[in-house]
Structure formats: structure tokens, C-alpha cells
């Protein structure tokens, strides 16, 4: 009887040991995968910080861009202003349209033919190279007005951001439980009121993350900026008059030069661009979390 009783116990212990061993093995493998995935990011960040940190100074952030690539010293002030203005205008265009498009697809369009067509076109636009968007805006806008301006770059970046915002926002809206919509409808709220006061606040964090992904992609684009915006070395706050520039364009132009001074400015501009995107990410996450808490 004793041997019969101990046999199941031994089997259970062996099974428990095998499960513990499998769990530890899976945990170790997952940790190794995380380290392998994070290693390139850490190396890139380290390289940019170490090589670009020496170029950063108040003059680098505020002074105008040297016209001669051989000239040593600052700055990147016009490129920083151009990046903020052009990307900000693109976000003002793409994010509201993208979120409203996602609301239509998920809350109203569902599987209607128009909704399916919009989803298909959004998927197609996601894979379109940025230079194609730049050429499209160049033909449809720049050639029409007769000059390269900052707003042309905003339109090109907005076209790149729009499909990302639409698809990511739609996925976040799908995650909102239908019980919340039904509870709001049960209290007598109209569909538009439910969408504005219940659905969108519940998905605000995810929508913000998708919008930030779109902004991060737009801020680093070079080809459409060169095609539609042109180049300048001085401050151009007006997006509707004269050529402009961005940090991405200056990184490309300075990095392709063989001179040490231009190479240093390219690394400094790269670090500045990463810092701007990181700062906007942190601020937007804080705003989204506060907004979600207030709605609760």
C-alpha cells in the first residue's frame, strides 16, 4: 500500500520539476531575446550620445546654420524650428483626420464597402515609400504654387502619418468593451455622445501611442522634405513663404560631407532630434494618462 501511495506523489513531483525547469528555461530565453533586441538600440543610442554630445551647446541650439560645410561650430537653430513647425503642422492635419476616420471605421462604417475601401487604402499607403509621397506633393502642390515652402513638407509628412494614425486608432477603439457602449446607450446617450465621452477617452492612451509613432516617423523623414521644402540656413518661421529645413535634412546633408565640422554637426543634429522625439513622447504619455484619470 505504501508503494502504491508514493507512486503518484513521485509522478507529481517529477511533473512539477519538469514544469519548473520549462518555466526557468522559457524565462531565460525570453530574457536573452529581450537583450538581443535591445542591444542594437543601446549601441545606436550610445554612439549618438557620445559623438553628438560634444557638439551640443546653447549656440548649437540657437544660432543659424553655417553656409560653408568646412566651417566649424554651431548651429542648428533654423533646423530645430523647422522640424517643430513642419512636423507640428503635419500632426495638426493628420491626427484629427486619422482619429475621425478611425471612429467612422469602427463605430459607424463597420464592414460597409466604403469602410473596407478606406482600410485597404490605408494599408496600401502604409507601405508607400516616403519619396513617393514627396513627389506627389511636389507635383500636386509645389508646382502649382511655384515654389518650395515648409507647408509642402507638412502635407507630405501628413500623408505619411495618416494611415498609421487611422489603423492604430481603429485597433485601439476595437479594444474598448461593448458593455461600455451599451451602458451609455442604456442611460439615453446618443451614439455620438457615447463615442465622444466614453469610447474615445477609454482608448485615449492607445490612440496617443499610435499618434506618437506617426510623429516619430514623420520627424525623421528626409526624402520628402528635400523634395518639397528645399534648403535654408536662416530662420524661416513662416511655413507658407520661402524654403525651409529640418534636422533630418541637415543630418543627411552634413553626414554626406567629408569634413569633420559637418560630421560633428550631423551627430549633434541626430542627438537633438532623438531628444525632441523622446521629450514629446514623455509629455504626451503624461497628458494621456492625466486625461484618462480625469475621465474616470
Nearest to 196 by CA among 118, 100, 264: 100
Flag whether 121 is in a domain.
yes
Flag whether 13 is in a domain.
no
Q: Domain containing 225: what range?
A: 83-247
Mean pLDDT rounded to a whole number for the chain: 85
CATH of the domain at 240: 1.10.3720.10
Whole-Å CA distances, 29 to 17, 22, 33, 34, 38: 18, 10, 6, 9, 14
On whether the pTM is more than 0.75, the answer is yes
Flag whether 149 is in a domain.
yes
Q: What is the distance between the alpha carbons of residues 240 and 148, in angstroms, rounded to a whole number?
A: 9
Q: What is the distance between the alpha carbons of residues 25 and 19, in angstroms, rounded to a whole number?
A: 10
Domains in the chain: how many in total?
1
Flag whether 123 is in a domain.
yes
Flag whether 277 is in a domain.
no
Flag whether 112 is in a domain.
yes
Flag whether 205 is in a domain.
yes
Flag whether 61 is in a domain.
no
pLDDT, tens digit (0-9, with 9 covering 90-100), for 108-158: 888 888 889 988 888 888 888 888 989 999 999 999 998 889 999 999 999
pLDDT, tens digit (0-9, with 9 covering 90-100), for 174-183: 888 888 888 8
The predicted pLDDT at position 1 comes to 46
Phi, psi (deg, nearest 5) at residue 90: -65, -40
Q: How confident is the model at residue 4 (pLDDT cuts 50, 70, 90)?
A: very low
Amino acid at each position: 500500500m505504501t508503494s502504491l501511495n508514493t507512486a503518484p506523489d513521485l509522478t507529481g513531483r517529477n511533473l512539477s520539476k519538469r514544469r519548473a525547469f520549462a518555466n526557468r528555461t522559457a524565462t531565460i530565453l525570453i530574457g536573452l531575446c529581450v537583450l538581443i533586441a535591445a542591444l542594437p538600440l543601446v549601441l545606436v543610442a550610445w554612439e549618438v550620445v557620445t559623438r553628438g554630445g560634444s557638439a551640443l551647446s546653447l549656440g548649437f541650439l540657437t544660432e543659424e546654420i553655417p553656409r560653408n560645410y568646412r566651417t566649424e561650430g554651431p548651429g542648428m537653430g533654423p533646423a530645430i524650428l523647422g522640424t517643430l513647425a513642419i512636423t507640428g503642422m503635419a500632426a495638426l492635419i493628420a491626427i484629427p483626420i486619422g482619429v475621425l476616420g478611425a471612429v467612422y471605421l469602427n463605430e459607424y462604417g463597420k464592414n460597409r464597402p466604403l469602410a473596407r475601401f478606406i482600410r485597404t487604402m490605408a494599408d496600401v499607403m502604409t507601405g508607400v515609400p516616403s519619396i513617393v509621397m514627396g513627389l506627389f506633393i511636389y507635383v500636386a502642390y509645389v508646382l502649382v504654387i511655384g515654389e518650395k515652402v515648409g507647408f509642402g513638407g507638412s502635407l507630405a509628412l501628413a500623408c505619411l502619418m495618416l494611415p498609421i494614425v487611422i489603423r492604430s486608432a481603429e485597433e485601439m477603439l476595437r479594444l474598448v468593451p461593448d458593455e461600455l457602449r451599451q451602458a451609455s446607450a442604456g442611460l439615453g446617450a446618443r451614439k455620438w455622445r457615447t463615442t465622444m465621452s466614453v469610447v474615445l477617452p477609454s482608448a485615449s492612451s492607445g490612440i496617443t501611442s499610435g499618434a506618437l509613432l506617426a510623429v516619430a516617423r514623420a520627424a525623421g523623414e528626409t526624402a520628402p522634405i528635400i523634395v518639397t521644402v528645399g534648403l535654408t540656413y536662416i530662420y524661416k518661421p513662416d511655413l507658407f513663404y520661402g524654403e525651409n529645413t529640418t534636422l533630418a535634412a541637415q543630418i543627411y546633408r552634413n553626414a554626406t560631407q567629408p569634413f569633420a565640422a559637418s560630421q560633428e554637426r550631423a551627430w549633434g543634429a541626430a542627438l537633438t532630434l532623438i531628444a525632441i522625439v523622446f521629450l514629446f513622447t514623455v509629455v504626451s504619455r503624461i497628458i494621456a494618462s492625466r486625461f484618462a484619470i480625469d475621465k474616470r
